[in-house]
Amino acid sequence: MKNTNSAVREVVESLFETAMIDVFSPVGLALNGVIDDASSCSKQVIGDSVLSVLSASGNGIQILCSINAGFSTLEALYPMGKNPSSDELRDWCGELNNQIVGAAKNQMLAYDCKVLMGLPTLIQGENLASVNSSDALISKRTFLSAEGEIITYLSTVIEPGFTILDTPDESLTGLTQGGELDFF
> Domain-by-domain residue ranges, the chain?
5-162
Residue 27 and residue 121: Cα distance in Å, rounded? 22
Amino acid at 50: V
- Could you tell me if 143 and 74 are in contact, meaning their C-beta atoms sit under 8 angstroms apart? no
- Could you tell me if 124 and 90 are in contact, meaning their C-beta atoms sit under 8 angstroms apart? yes
Q: What's the pLDDT score for residue 42? A: 61
Residue 123 and residue 143: Cα distance in Å, rounded? 20
Residue 48 and residue 73: Cα distance in Å, rounded? 11
Q: What is the CATH code for 5-162? A: 3.40.1550.10
Note down pLDDT in tens along the chain; length 184 residues.
555 678 999 999 999 999 999 999 998 899 999 988 877 666 667 778 899 999 999 999 999 999 999 998 999 889 888 899 999 999 999 999 999 999 999 999 999 999 999 999 999 988 777 777 778 889 999 999 988 899 999 999 999 989 999 899 888 876 455 555 444 3
Pairing of strands 121-126, 116-117: unpaired
Amino acid at 127: N
Q: Count of alpha carbons within 13 Å of 113, Cβ hemisphere only?
A: 28
**pTM assigned to the model:** 0.89
Residue 11 and residue 22: Cα distance in Å, rounded? 16
- Could you tell me if 77 and 93 are in contact, meaning their C-beta atoms sit under 8 angstroms apart? no
Q: What's the pLDDT score for residue 106? A: 92
Q: What's the pLDDT score for residue 144? A: 95
Q: What's the pLDDT score for residue 80? A: 86
Q: What's the pLDDT score for residue 178? A: 54
Q: What's the pLDDT score for residue 84? A: 94
Long-range contacts of 3-6, Cβ-Cβ distance < 8 Å, separation of 24 or more: 3/163, 3/164, 3/166, 5/158, 5/160, 5/162
